Structure 1
């Protein structure tokens, strides 16, 4: 578990470990994984899943979800005193990121922070241990969407409302955790982690996750006019041509192990983007902060 600061532009950046990691400015004070960070009014929030849950000697990222908060740009973190549990059919989430400090949220979205949660294939499954399944692409692929008023992010899980389908006018309904309904579905599955960001020029939400199997470059990128859809497909990498199989201008060796891609909103520029991605190379072979530049072509 570590938190780094990325300085510079897409063509000339460097990373500095702020909290945890090699030669960090500050030591990490807890373990886990996070695929979700958002900045609001100069303060950081991140969803955290455990590495080894308390009382267990093996890893299980699925078991529960906690929210951590930093008021000093990631130098120190405190956790909320509540959590979401895998048994509630929720696991590894991500935030929907807008502009700097969460600016640029369209007026129709209200003063809310939005989070997407992966639905576990089995609400009792574990990553390791006696019944371990490792990190998998969950079948079927179902995502849930929650929103919370910005001022209530850390206070209580009771402030979180979940997408509960549409009313007769086609407007989203929001309800309790037990009333949640899928906001996104892919029969081929949804990965154990995902990313979501809003493109201000296209005015579209971009959602990315895996399908079929883990660590294979089988990435799906989807877009929608609102956080609750309707979704269309931007790109869907399949076995015959996974992510990175065709890399113009590169003859470097390549391992087909990509499982995560994201669009940093800081680096959106009109129709251009910088995508960052990572793979499962155990410290090499794409297990790093990698970037590639591109351009959206609108049909």
Structure 2
């Protein structure tokens, strides 16, 4: 299968609506405020998504990181990537170029490619991070004994840009969809020496939970489970508190759904962006019933990885009738001033089952 690139002009009505809601019409904004889980951002006052969509490859989820060699590395799930003969559960790829001229290529990696149904519980990568020449992949869907399908997570790592992967000998049966915080090229924009990750507070990657939790580990100790700590709140002296998994407290709450979130640092704006999308319409893969779930795209910003959060964009029924989910903001495609970036997302069953990107522009309070 050839590596094909598709450019689609999406209905201007959707983008016009987004522009109207976020920054132009006070009456529309005040109505939608009732559904915001957090107040509107005081830093970012407008949000517009471009009408052009670029789509390449085959698969979904597309965890992505920017490595020291200047390339972006990603994992697709449940697909053929950019030319595999048959579908696999997950496999590594390289993304090159800059939008709209982007390209993908498969990495030949017997240890990083997980077929199904064999392998590590048909695991799928949910988070990817490059630090000091090493790629760290958080892997979900371990299906540990005693837990329902689609639960649990662990870690694998590569020191040769995705060709060879090794597994740690531990897991998190209670964590269903962990995703690393990315911050610039090879994590160079990080504010401290810790690597951070987030996950919905639940064991399944197929459930729409209400809370998001955060863990962290020193970037020299990522392979050691006992070195990880979890956010447990803010002290009376306004210090951040870290403890065991049992001590955890949410960094973010939205009863309307926190499905497959991601987090990235926008260096130009000096803000952390948290994003998630609960897909529109009927979806056959839910592991739970959330009566408060509402299909939406949510983008939130904060001065620190744990908050406090404000709302950049909250788009009800985003992409209707497409079923969009697993949004990311690739670090390499954030402009120097932070005001432009690309939103990467997946679609299933309606919409292109590909690596999909659209350009976004934010207006900042001067």
* TM-score, normalising length: structure 2: 0.65
2:163 alignment partner in structure 1: 75
C-alpha spacing 1:93/1:213, structure 2 compared with 1 (3 Å): farther
C-alpha spacing 1:161/1:25, structure 2 compared with 1 (3 Å): closer
In the TM superposition, structure 1's runs of 4+ consecutive aligned residues that sit over 6 Å from their partners are none
2:222 alignment partner in structure 1: 153
C-alpha spacing 1:185/1:212, structure 2 compared with 1 (3 Å): farther
CA shift for structure 1 position 147: 0.7
| Separation in structure 2 between the aligned mates of residue 55 and residue 187 of structure 1, nearest angstrom | 29
1:136 alignment partner in structure 2: 207
C-alpha spacing 1:212/1:70, structure 2 compared with 1 (3 Å): closer
Question: Does the 8 Å contact 1:61/1:92 carry over to 2?
Answer: no
- Written as runs of structure 1 = structure 2, the 5 A alignment for 1:98-117 is 98-106=183-191, 110-117=192-199
1:249 alignment partner in structure 2: none
Question: Does the 8 Å contact 2:299/2:313 carry over to 1?
Answer: yes
Aligned equivalent of 1:202, options 255, 269, 273: 269
Tell me how many residue pairs correspond in the alignment. Answer: 258
| Separation in structure 1 between the aligned mates of residue 207 and residue 276 of structure 2, nearest angstrom | 12
Question: Does the 8 Å contact 2:346/2:355 carry over to 1?
Answer: yes
Coordinate RMSD, CA, aligned = 2.6
1:293 alignment partner in structure 2: 359
- Written as runs of structure 1 = structure 2, the 5 A alignment for 1:251-266 is 255-266=321-332
| Separation in structure 1 between the aligned mates of residue 145 and residue 126 of structure 2, nearest angstrom | 24
Once the two structures are superposed, residues 196-220 of structure 1 have per-residue CA deviations (whole angstroms, 9 ceiling, x without a partner) of: 1000011111111134877685221
Matched, 1:50 2:141: yes
| Separation in structure 2 between the aligned mates of residue 54 and residue 171 of structure 1, nearest angstrom | 36
CA shift for structure 1 position 181: 0.8
Greater mean alpha carbon deviation, residues 4-13 or residues 217-226: 217-226
Q: Which runs of 5+ in 1 are unaligned?
A: 128-134, 246-254
- Written as runs of structure 1 = structure 2, the 5 A alignment for 1:151-230 is 151-154=220-223, 156-191=224-259, 193-211=260-278, 218-230=296-308
Aligned equivalent of 1:17, options 86, 102, 106: 106
CA shift for structure 1 position 189: 2.1
| Separation in structure 1 between the aligned mates of residue 353 and residue 158 of structure 2, nearest angstrom | 26
C-alpha spacing 1:222/1:19, structure 2 compared with 1 (3 Å): farther
CA shift for structure 1 position 67: 0.5
CA shift for structure 1 position 265: 0.4
* TM-score, normalising length: structure 1: 0.79
C-alpha spacing 1:194/1:137, structure 2 compared with 1 (3 Å): same
CA shift for structure 1 position 19: 4.5
Once the two structures are superposed, residues 172-201 of structure 1 have per-residue CA deviations (whole angstroms, 9 ceiling, x without a partner) of: 11111111111111121211x111100001
Which protein has greater RCO, CA pairs closer than 8 Å, 6+ apart? 2
Aligned equivalent of 1:236, options 294, 298, 314: 314
| Separation in structure 1 between the aligned mates of residue 364 and residue 136 of structure 2, nearest angstrom | 33
